[in-house]
């Protein structure tokens, strides 16, 4: 092969690589669009969630002393509807694209007879409840048992109750995620450490 043929081979390789790269970009955009998320769209700054945000659809019930100290039997309940958009956003963020969560037709053929919420997304409501405890909550451990599925669109609650003061600002908690009819979907325990919030 003569040295003069290299530029044409290089141009052909560059062109084909560019076409392949562009088609991969388009395929990626199509896949992301399938999940209902625009690849070119960023959340405007004013719509981003802030540490003190409270959305209308979020409901919180608490039984904690006014001075903010925790004691055994204190509890927090955080509730919201786990929507299809929540499931899509979680799938996009985590990469968990199991058809049980995203494909209505395939999900109908499973034991659940329809789409269900990711178990980890549902258990994330426990973390949401913990975020409403006084001070800075540090998760040390979480044990969970998945007892029943949660359908998409279900009004779901995380219930957290202080079971034991372990000393040193550490607490053992009973943690549950409940369906709209108050059936236990996720059962377990957590251990947390609470630091005082900086002023």
* pLDDT one-digit tens code per residue, 129-141: 999 998 899 999 9
29 pLDDT above the threshold of 80: no
- In angstroms, the CA 191 to CA 131 distance is 14
pTM given for the model:
0.72
Q: What is the pLDDT of residues 156-183, one digit of tens each?
A: 999 999 999 999 999 999 999 999 999 9
What pLDDT shows up at residue 135?
87
Give φ, ψ of 14 to 5 degrees.
-60, -45
What pLDDT shows up at residue 162?
96
């Amino acid at each position: 092969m003569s040295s003069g043929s290299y530029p044409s081979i290089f141009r052909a390789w560059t062109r084909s690589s560019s076409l392949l790269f562009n088609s991969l970009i388009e395929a990626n955009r199509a896949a992301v669009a399938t999940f209902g998320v625009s690849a070119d769209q960023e959340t405007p700054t004013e719509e981003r969630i802030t540490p003190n945000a409270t959305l209308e659809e979020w409901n919180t019930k608490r039984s904690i002393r006014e001075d903010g100290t925790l004691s055994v039997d204190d509890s927090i309940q955080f509730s919201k509807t786990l929507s299809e958009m929540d499931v899509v956003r979680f799938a996009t963020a985590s990469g968990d694209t199991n058809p049980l969560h995203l494909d209505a037709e395939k999900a109908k053929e499973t034991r659940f007879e329809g789409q269900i919420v990711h178990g980890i997304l549902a258990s994330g409501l426990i973390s949401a409840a913990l975020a409403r405890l006084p001070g800075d909550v540090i998760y040390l451990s979480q044990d969970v048992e998945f007892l029943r599925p949660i359908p998409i669109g279900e009004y779901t609650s995380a219930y957290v109750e202080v079971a034991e003061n372990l000393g040193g600002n550490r607490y053992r908690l009973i943690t549950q995620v409940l369906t709209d009819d108050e059936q236990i979907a996720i059962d377990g325990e957590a251990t947390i450490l609470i630091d005082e919030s900086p002023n």
